[in-house]
Structure 1
Amino acid sequence: MQKDSGDPDVTRVREAAAGADWATVRGVLEARPESEDRTELLWAVGDTAGVERWIAGVIEAEPDSALPLLVSGVRHISWGWEARTGARAKDVSREQFDVFHARLRTAERQLYEAAEREPQWTSPWYGLQITGRGLQVGQVTARRRFEATVRRDPHHMGAHQQQLQQVCEKWSGSHEEMHAFARASAFGAPGGTPLGQLVAIAHIEEWLSLDAGPDAAYMRRPEVAASLRQAADHSYRHPDFVRRGAWLQVFNTFAMAFSLAGDRAAARECFQAAEGRVTEFPWYYINGSDPAAAYRKQRSSAGR
């Protein structure tokens, strides 16, 4: 079983970041144009401890370059959430919030500067969607940042996922708004895009919001299974679906959603298509410390 997308460049860029090897980091990132969505590569760098220590020197050495600012901005987002932790807001100290907000403000400044230098890039605006939620910029500003991202890449999966989070009940939205956004985005896009996954994510989000018992009952509703099948038909079952970009996450997300919905045949189809490769999202919702264990358990239940 292989964890994450299976893209060898992810491992390569992560190792280079850990070794403070900017030449390799830059080479890997520049070889993946924005038009092909380098979000996963940027996040592999951003999630690597210690990047914040050496990237400042790169910014100094390359004062006219947008890429070091972009990398630093993404690192400060991840570093900020490390300080906040994944705890509920009531369990996060004032000191933790202060560090969290300071790092996100640094990220915002650097991402805006990168966006000014490279107006066609999508990644800075995607990053600003995340900082905006952490800094609670409000729904109007958040929507503008989402629109800025999708103007540059209309079917950017990450941007749509961030906006879906923005309209979730837990982020001052509602279940109704979340489902409406997911369906409008999925079915407003051509058949075969990864955006059908948004419908599955929205059902998983509502499942997460419920207590044990009602959560399972919700996922077993016939209308939930029907909407999952409809989204699957418009997404990975569509003849125009291509296995590139976020394709592996699409199968993992539908595998989890169909498993929770009790549709073993549809879940098996997704597990088979994923070829034993597990993405952290969405399995960490079931087992945060070992997403692969959650994947294995559900795959076994589905008869794979």
Structure 2
Amino acid sequence: MALLRDMGRTLGKWTGRPAARLQKDSGQPDVQQVREAAGAADWATVRRLFEARPDGGDSTELLWAAADTAGVERWIVPAVEAEPDAALPRLVAGFRHISWAWEARTAARAQHVSREQFEVFHSRLRLAEQWLYEAAEREPRLTAPWYGLLVTGRGLQVGSTQALRRFEAAVRRAPHHLGAHTQRLQQVCHKWGGSHEEMHAFARESAAAAPGGSALGMLVADAHLEHWLSLDSGADDRYMRDPQVRASLHEAAEHSYRHPGFGQAASPYQQLQVLNSFAMAFSLGGDRTAARECFLATDGAVTESPWQYLNGSDPAAAYRKHRSAAGR
């Protein structure tokens, strides 16, 4: 219980049964400040907040905060033109065009997306690639451009060889970058042209190679959830309840969130992502004790992924249902 008490201090007090609330970021002040400054077209403040953080997992949270803010595309291009040698405005432009591209495509299945929507989607992703490659040229040490290029590459279907090269470029700069590994997991899963075997091997090997307490243990849980998603009703439940699946989840948990180094190796928001993924995986597998441990540590903070797989319109409702089933 000592580890859970440590998590409680990091993620908030968890006496009683806290209300489930969707949390789309870490809640850190600079994340909200970036979002507000981006909405106000205040590039000077956006730049200052980014420069106060190093490149890595935490800086990508700021990038998505800016990227998901409506209207950024209208003022970021002049900012790029005003700073021809700077990487940062190109990074923000690249990530905004990624987010803007998916706004056009929507989350619908491909057969329900019109040709016109796909044309806008691909056009915006190609612009994103331009900005991201320019950022990488100006600051070769940065990880973020290559992380972004993993996202654009999947949308543009650049092919397995090119996708692998982009992943390798990212992890040369940040070997345990959670976002890059999460994108690679998607790239090698069955629905994107990979296979269950390749996906599980990647997740297992990446988690095992990471330092104790790393957020990369989440890859094992996410791989099982992707496999579960691909199966028909009935087969999906049997898969998650398989003793080998349960054993692999516990093995990954021991090396990840149950490890004493978890609070140091993973950022607060990454911790929430890890715990939510394991909570859902253990819940679907019928392991109430392990699921309850994760629900306790999240203190009611719900990440959209992976709960949107169960309830796309209200991930917190799916979380609440499974938390109750776990006896929390």
TM-score, structure 2 length as denominator? 0.89
- In the other structure, the counterpart of 2:40 is 19
Q: Aligned with 2:262: secondary structure?
A: coil
Larger RCO (CA within 8 A; separation ≥ 6): 2
- In the other structure, the counterpart of 1:107 is 128
Query: Structure 1 CA distance, aligned partners of 2:134 and 2:59?
Result: 19
2:321 counterpart (289, 292, 297): 297
Counterpart mapping for 1:82-101 below 5 A: 82-101=103-122
1:51 is the counterpart of 2:72? yes
1:285 counterpart (294, 306, 309): 309
Per-residue deviation, 1:222: 1.2
TM-score, structure 1 length as denominator? 0.96
CA contact (8 A) 2:56 2:144 kept: no
2:203 counterpart (150, 170, 182): 182
Counterpart mapping for 1:110-259 below 5 A: 110-242=131-263, 244-245=266-267, 246-259=270-283
Query: Structure 2 CA distance, aligned partners of 1:19 and 1:252?
Result: 33
Any idea what the Cα deviations from partners look like across 1:231-263, whole Å, max 9, x if unmatched?
001111112222542121111111111111111
1:38 counterpart (59, 62, 65): 59
Q: Aligned residues: percent identity?
A: 70
Q: Extract unaligned runs of 5+ from structure 2.
A: 1-19
Residue identity matched to 2:277: T
Residue identity matched to 1:82: E
Any idea what the Cα deviations from partners look like across 1:203-256, whole Å, max 9, x if unmatched?
000111122222112111111111100100111111222254212111111111
Q: Aligned with 1:115: secondary structure?
A: helix
1:8 is the counterpart of 2:8? no
CA contact (8 A) 1:6 1:277 kept: no
How many residue pairs match? The answer is 304
Query: Structure 2 CA distance, aligned partners of 1:94 and 1:287?
Result: 27
Any idea what the Cα deviations from partners look like across 1:98-119, whole Å, max 9, x if unmatched?
1111101000010000001011
CA contact (8 A) 2:57 2:179 kept: no
Q: Aligned with 1:125: secondary structure?
A: helix
Q: Extract unaligned runs of 5+ from structure 1.
A: none
CA contact (8 A) 1:168 1:178 kept: yes
Query: Structure 2 CA distance, aligned partners of 1:8 and 1:303?
Result: 33
Per-residue deviation, 1:35: 4.1
Instruction: Give the direction of change, closer, same or farther, for the CA distance of 1:54–1:145 in structure 2 (3 Å limit).
Output: same
Residue identity matched to 2:323: R
Query: Structure 1 CA distance, aligned partners of 2:301 and 2:294?
Result: 11
Q: Aligned with 2:253: secondary structure?
A: helix
Residue identity matched to 2:261: D
Query: Structure 1 CA distance, aligned partners of 2:195 and 2:55?
Result: 32
1:72 is the counterpart of 2:72? no
CA contact (8 A) 1:37 1:156 kept: no
Per-residue deviation, 1:20: 1.5
Between 281-290 and 258-267, the greater mean CA deviation after superposition: 281-290
Any idea what the Cα deviations from partners look like across 1:68-102, whole Å, max 9, x if unmatched?
11001001011111111112222221111111111
CA contact (8 A) 1:129 1:146 kept: yes
Per-residue deviation, 1:295: 1.4
